[in-house]
Structure 1
Amino acid sequence: MTTAPPRTTATAWWRPLLLVAALLTGLLGVAAPAGAATAEATISVTVSAVTNPGDTVLISGNTAQLGNWNPAAAVPLHTTAQTYPSWTGYVQIIEGSTAEYKFLIRSSTGVVTWESVPNRSVTHSTTAITAIDDRWNVGSGAPVAASFRVTATTAYGQNVYLVGNLAELGGWNPAAAVPLTTGSGGYPTWGAGLQLPPNTPVAYKYLIRNPDGSVAWEGGADRTATTPPTGTFTTADTWRQ
């Protein structure tokens, strides 16, 4: 009786391929996490703010990109001797979303002062340029037409200027003061008209600039006033020695 030779088991060449296919199926079947890769947009920020030496202006808000109202995570803005009191910077915002924000000032010693106006908001537009352009502690509203007048006797070559606490008044910087004008029919009254934010405390003084560039400030305490909610704002002052 002839014994049949033992059967030779063929190598299962397809098994490794099956294992690889199973692994690929598992990997490809994993769904991407919800909300992944949300697009962000960069927008510019500008705010006019008069500060003390060593102060920094920052922006904070209700999103992670704005620090979630945490002053330690707020986005710092920057200024220069040429652009002060304008502070500028950039922040991130989710495309098409709306974010609330406010500005704050941090002193050189770490003291934080928030502006007292209601929360501001910005909505990113996917069809137009989105930017923030504000004034420190001044909410929305039409500007007030302001007229400053002062009676001041001057010598030949001297000119009278207005300077004060608002960016529109030069931020107490004589180099950025507002020039006043006079005429043969109006002298010694000097005046200027400009736009100021409504409902805003104003502190100001007059100064005289000499032909050599030196400056003489009027005497006395700062003049103070508050602009009205609407309409006009007018002064009728006399130079103080």
Structure 2
Amino acid sequence: MTVPAGDAVALYGTGTGTSSPPPTTPPTTPPTTPPAGTVTETFQETANVPAGQKVYLVGSPTALGAWNTGKAVPLDSTDGTHWSTAVDLPAGTSFEYKYISKDAAGNVTWEPTGNHAAATGTAASTLADQWGRQSSGGSGQATVVFHETRTAPTGQSVFVVGSIPALAGWDPRSAVPLTSSDRTNWSAAVDLPPNTSFEYKYILKDAAGNVTWESGANRTAGSGTSGTTLTDTWK
């Protein structure tokens, strides 16, 4: 097209280039709230289970499977030792529960203790338990805190075992697990009968259940009227 001198022309492109769409804000997910008449109960369990097994929760309420292990609630874990889950339960209700482990084939192992007993209130709460131990804070109990310094080899953890039932009666299979954030400083709080003398020792266990006992004579202590703290170093 020829444009006479002094005239102007407007050009409208139909380019094939693409432009990015404007950024969008992700939709806001509303906070999860439990159904009316229920409260969220968080269950935290410390358990070292064999490789290939996972920890589940089962109990008397329908939300906990009504004791049907096929409907047990799975717990999540990032390290294979500390497990947790949150369940909506009826508010103001007493209930019993227990932890189990299951393998891929569905074989069930129950924790070796009586049923845990608890009650929901009107607000969310947390229950912290250890495999084979009754729920902490039991009435008339004295809480003894065990602190142990021991750098554990990879794949092994520190446990405490002792002369009274609350410390597994010297059975290393039911020893109380200690937890650690650095694999050197380990601790656990255990409810013991008040004013009770006992003997105890620390052990190392791996995932296969192999046990290494610390050397020397048994340690001795007493629970006192309201508990105590024991600070030890592996010997």
TM-score normalized with structure 2 length: 0.54
Whichever residue aligns with residue 168 of structure 1, its letter is L
The one of 135, 158, 168 aligned to 1:164? 158
CA contact (8 A) 2:77 2:84 kept: yes
Distance 1:201 1:59 in 2: 30
Where does residue 112 of structure 1 map in the other structure? 108
- Residues 226/49 of structure 1: CA separation in 2 closer, same or farther (3 Å cut): farther
**Dislocated runs of 4+, deviation >3 Å:** 140-143, 145-149, 198-203, 224-229, 231-238
In structure 2, what is the equivalent of residue 65 of structure 1? 63
Q: Tell me the residue number matched to 1:53.
A: 51
**Cα distance in 2 between the residues matched to 1:49 and 1:143:** 19
Quickly say closer, same or farther: Cα 1:235–1:133, change in 2 above 3 A.
closer
Any idea what the Cα deviations from partners look like across 1:183-205, whole Å, max 9, x if unmatched? Answer: xxxxxxxxx8x444256997624
Cα shift readout 1:106-150 (whole Å, capped 9, x = no counterpart)? 123422111122211221111x4322221111113443243657x
Structure 1 vs Structure 2 CA RMSD: 3.7
Does the 8 Å CA contact 1:196/1:227 hold for their aligned counterparts?
no
SS of the aligned residue for 2:76 comes to coil
Change (3 A) 1:125 1:227: farther
Provide the rounded CA distance (Å) in 2 between the counterparts of 1:176 and 1:38. Answer: 42
Q: Provide the aligned length of Structure 1 versus Structure 2.
A: 159
Change (3 A) 1:73 1:110: same
Give, as a single letter, the amino acid of the residue that structure 2 aligns with 1:178.
Answer: T
* 2:183 equivalent to 1:197: no
How far apart are the structure 1 equivalents of 2:73 and 2:82?
16
Partner of 1:144: 144
- The answer on whether the counterparts of 2:202 and 2:234 sit within 8 Å (CA) in structure 1 is no
Aligned to 1:95: 91
| Structure 2 residue ranges without an equivalent (≥5) | 1-34, 160-175, 193-198
Letter of the 2:78 partner, please give it.
T
Q: Is the 8 A contact 2:41 2:87 kept in 1?
A: yes
The amino acid across from 1:204 in the alignment is I
The Cα shift of 1:71 comes to 0.6
Question: Cα distance 1:205–1:94, how it changes in 2: closer, same or farther (>3 A)?
Answer: closer
Return closer, same or farther for 1:49/1:93 CA change in 2, 3 Å cut-off. same
Identity of aligned residues (%): 23
Relative to structure 1, the CA distance from residue 176 to residue 70 in structure 2 (aligned partners, 3 Å threshold; closer, same or farther) is farther
Of 207, 212, 215, the match for 1:222: 212
Cα distance in 2, alignment partners of residues 133 and 38 from structure 1: 25
The answer as to whether partners of 2:113 and 2:132 remain within 8 angstroms in 1 is yes
Structure 1: 5+ residue stretches without partners: 1-36, 150-159, 180-191, 207-219
Q: How much does 1:89 deviate?
A: 0.8
**CA shift in 2, pair 1:226/1:53, >3 Å:** farther
Instruction: Please identify the structure whose Cα radius of gyration is greater.
Output: 1
